[in-house]
Amino acid sequence: MKNNRSLLTFLLFAFALNIFSGCKPKAQPEPSYNNPLILQRADPMIVRADDGTYYFIATAPEYDRIEMRKAKSINELAEAEPIVVWRKQVSGPMTYHIWAPELHRINNIWYIYFAAGHSDNKWKIRMFALSNTSQDPTQGEWKEEGQIVTERDAFALDASVFGHNGEFYYVWAERTGPGINSGLIISKMKDPVTLEGPQVIITEPEYDWERQKYNVNEGPAVLKRNDKIFITFSASATDHNYAMGLIWADEKADLLNADSWNKLPQPVFYTNDSLKRFGPGHNQFTIAEDGKTDLMVYHARDYYELQGGPLSDPNRHTRVRILRWTNDGFPDFGQEIND
Q: Which residues are catalytic?
A: 43, 218
CB 268 within 8 A of CB 6: no
Rg (alpha carbons) of the chain, rounded to whole number: 23
DSSP single-letter state for residue 24: S
CA nearest neighbour of 191 among 230, 146, 234: 146
Task: Go through 287-321 and write b for each residue having 16 or more CB atoms within 10 A of its CB, e for each that does not.
Answer: bbeeeeeebbbbbbbeeeebeeebeebbbbbbbbb
CB 235 within 8 A of CB 173: no
Alpha helix (H) residue ranges in the chain: 2-23
User: Cα–Cα–Cα angle for 146, 147, 151, nearest 5°?
Assistant: 150
User: Which residues are 172's β-sheet partners?
Assistant: 185
CB 176 within 8 A of CB 210: no
Chain CA centroid to CA 261, Å: 19
Count the Cβ atoms, other than its own, within 10 Å of residue 332: 13
